Structure 1
Amino acid sequence: MKKWIIEGLKANNGKGWPKEISKYIWENYEAQLKSSGDLLYTWQYDVRWAAQKLRYEGILKPVNGRRDLPWELA
């Protein structure tokens, strides 16, 4: 998931809202998601957790609990 988020952000000039990144992931990895078993039903939730892990790793800029900021590469 982290790799896909980074790809999606890079494809969107380093910044994007979660729905834009989810759309990128679906458009580029739909077949993998559909064949992944239970991940098909949890992937959007998993993407958000992966984004949080990327923040902890310093790859995404922190948002400090705000919901009015897009995801952005650091």
Structure 2
Amino acid sequence: MATSSDLKVWVVDALQSSGPATVPQIAKHIWDNHEAELRSSGNLFYTWQYAMRWAGQQLQMEGKLRKKGAGRTWFLL
């Protein structure tokens, strides 16, 4: 069962796989690779995209991620 802390790892994995990406691109990568885990994650299934954005904010506060540009592209530092 996935937890919100898994989303930090999945965001990093998405950015390592694709390079800089927008929120929809990151969400698509997570869904394509973790759909089954998300579906079995209880209430997180209904809030995972919000939790993914919060994971990105935490990564930014930790100095591991930056958000930049008009489309708010995320990239790893």
Per-residue CA deviation, residues 34-56 of structure 1 (Å, 9 max, x unaligned), is 00100100000000000000000
Matched, 1:8 2:11: no
Q: Gapped runs of 5+ residues in structure 2?
A: 1-6
Per-residue CA deviation, residues 7-65 of structure 1 (Å, 9 max, x unaligned), is 0001112x1000000000000000000001001000000000000000000000254xx
Give the aligned partner of residue 17 of structure 1.
Answer: 22
Give the alignment's Cα RMSD to 1 decimal. 1.3
- CA drift at 1:69: 2.8
Tell me the distance in 1 between the aligned counterparts of 2:70 and 2:62.
19
More helix by share: 2
Tell me the distance in 2 between the aligned counterparts of 1:36 and 1:68.
29
Runs of 4+ in 1 over 2 A off after TM superposition: 66-69
> TM-score, normalised on structure 1?
0.89
